[in-house]
Amino acid sequence: MAITTVPETPRKPGRPPSPYSARPQRTSLGRKVRDNLTGHAFLIGAVICFVVFSWYPMIRGIVMSFQRTRRGETTWVGWDNYSRIIADPSFWTAWQNTFYFTVLALVLGYVVPFFVAVLLNEFRHGKGYLRILVYLPVMLPPASALFLFKFYAYDPSEAGLFNAILKALHLPTSQWMQSPEMTMPAMVVASTWMNMGGAVLIYLASLQNIPGELYEAAELDGAGIWRRIRHVTIPQTRLILALLAMLQIVATMQLFIEPLILANGAGAEDSATSVAYLIYQHGFFQNDLNGAAALGVIMLVVLAGFSAVYVRLTAKQD
C-alpha cells in the first residue's frame, strides 16, 4: 500500500505555456524539431524501461496466455491454457481464499486505520510519537515481520505469544496457522499490522484539511460525536476513502508473501492458497508459464471489473 496517488488535479486554465512552446511565431521549423528532440532525449531512458519492463510485458502476458511453449516451440492453443487453469482443483479454492482475505482485510485493514486516524487527529499531545509507531512496521522487510509472526506469535503451543496471552485471559488457545479456520484471520492480522501505517498517515493528512467551521456548525445543531463523524468527517474524506478502498482491494487481491511464509504456501487443507500463489506455483514450479500468464490475465479482468464498479459508484456520488 505504499503507492498512493489521486488523479492529477485538472490543469488550471490560466496556466502559462512552457517557455519553449511559447516561443514567438517566427521560430523556425528546425528550431521546433530540435526542441522536441531535446525533450524526447530526456524522456528516452525512462520510456525504454517502461517499454521493456511494463508495456511490452503487459501485451506479451496476454499473447502468452493463448500460446504454449514446449521444447522451445511455441504454438497457438486458443483457450487451452484457460481451461487447464480453471480445471486445476486449487483454482476455485484460491479465488475463494483471496476474496475471503480481501473482505476480512476490508473490515479490519480498512476500517481500523480510519478510526485510528480520527482518534489520533483529536490528540493535542504525543501525535508525532504515535504516528512513528504506526508507520514503523511498514518499514520492516515483510519477510522479517512474517517470520516474527510465524515463529513467535502464531506458535500453536502455549509458548507462542498469542496463545500465552489467550491463556492468561482464560480464553481457549488456537492452533493458528495449523487450523484451516484460523489461517485467514491470522494472515489478515499480520498483514494489517505490517501495512496499516500508510493508510493512517494518508487519512490523517486528509482529516487535517476538513474546515473546522463544519464541525462547529454541526455542534451548534446539536450533533454528537458519532453524528459529526457520519455527517462531517466521512463525507469530507469521501474521495480519499473511496480511493484507498480501491487501492486496498488491488493490494489484497495480490496476497502472496503472507501465505508463502506464514503457511508455507498452501497452508492447512489448502486454506492459504491465494491466486497470486497459484500464479507462482504454475509459473515457477510446474513449469507452466503459459498457464500462469492466463491466470494473470484472469486476475487482471477481475480487478478491471472492480475498477469499473468503483468508477460507477464514485461517479454517481458526485
Partner 1 sequence: MAQDSGTRTLISQTQISRGRGRVIYWTLLVVVVAAFTLVFLGPLYWMVTGALKSGQEIAQTPPSLFPKDPQPQNYIDAWNNLDLAKLLFNTFYYAIGAVLFQLVLDTAAAYSLSKLRPIFGNVILALMLGTLMIPAMVLIVPQYVTVIDLPILHINLLDSPFAIWLPLVANAFNIFLLKRFFDSIPEELMAAALMDGASSLRTLWSIILPLSRPILGVVSIFAVTAVWKDFLWPKLVMPSPETRTVSVGIYAFAGGTPMNVVIAASVIAAIPTVIIFLIFQRNIMSGLTTGSIKG
- Binders in 248-287 for partner 1, by CB under 8 A: 250, 253-254, 256-257, 261, 275-276, 279-280, 283-284
Query: Is there a contact between 159 and 167 (Cβ–Cβ < 8 Å)?
Result: no
Decide if residue 86 touches partner 1 (CB under 8 A): no
From the list 2, 29, 169, 315, which residue makes contact with partner 1 (rule: CB under 8 A)? 2
Decide if residue 130 touches partner 1 (CB under 8 A): yes
The x, y and z cell numbers of residue 224, run together, are 454528537
The site that binds partner 1 (CB under 8 A) totals a number of residues, namely 119
**Of 141 and 181, which CB lies nearer to partner 1 in the complex structure?**
141
Decide if residue 297 touches partner 1 (CB under 8 A): yes
Decide if residue 220 touches partner 1 (CB under 8 A): no
Query: Is there a contact between 248 and 105 (Cβ–Cβ < 8 Å)?
Result: yes
**HSE (side-chain half, CA atoms, 13 Å) at 218:** 17
Bridge partners of 68, per DSSP, are: 75
In whole angstroms, give the CA distance from residue 295 to residue 283.
Answer: 10
Decide if residue 35 touches partner 1 (CB under 8 A): yes
From the list 74, 83, 144, 287, which residue makes contact with partner 1 (rule: CB under 8 A)? 144
**Which element (helix H / strand E) includes 136?**
helix 127-139
Decide if residue 240 touches partner 1 (CB under 8 A): yes
Query: Is there a contact between 91 and 278 (Cβ–Cβ < 8 Å)?
Result: yes
From the list 307, 308, 309, 313, which residue makes contact with partner 1 (rule: CB under 8 A)? 307
At a CB cut-off of 8 Å and minimum separation 6, what does 70 contact?
Answer: none
List Cβ<8 Å contacts ≥24 apart for 238-244: 238/317, 239/6, 239/314, 240/6, 240/202, 240/203, 240/206, 241/114, 242/310, 242/313, 242/314, 242/317, 243/4, 243/6, 244/4, 244/110, 244/199, 244/202, 244/203
Decide if residue 166 touches partner 1 (CB under 8 A): no
Q: Which residues from 108-127 bind partner 1, rule CB under 8 A?
A: 118-127
Among the listed ranges 73-81, 99-107, 156-164, 177-185, the one in contact with partner 1 (CB under 8 A) is 156-164
Among the listed ranges 71-79, 88-96, 176-184, 209-217, the one in contact with partner 1 (CB under 8 A) is 209-217
Q: How far is the CB of 44 from partner 1 (least distance, A)?
A: 8
At a CB cut-off of 8 Å and minimum separation 6, what does 234 contact?
Answer: 241
Q: How far is the CB of 194 from partner 1 (least distance, A)?
A: 10
Q: How far is the CB of 144 from partner 1 (least distance, A)?
A: 4
The x, y and z cell numbers of residue 248, run together, are 486496498
**Of 63 and 107, which CB lies nearer to partner 1 in the complex structure?**
63
* Residue whose grid cell is 480520527: 118
Q: Which residues from 48-77 bind partner 1, rule CB under 8 A?
A: 49-50, 52-58, 60-61, 64
Q: How far is the CB of 245 from partner 1 (least distance, A)?
A: 15
**Which element (helix H / strand E) includes 189?**
helix 180-207
Q: How far is the CB of 270 from partner 1 (least distance, A)?
A: 19
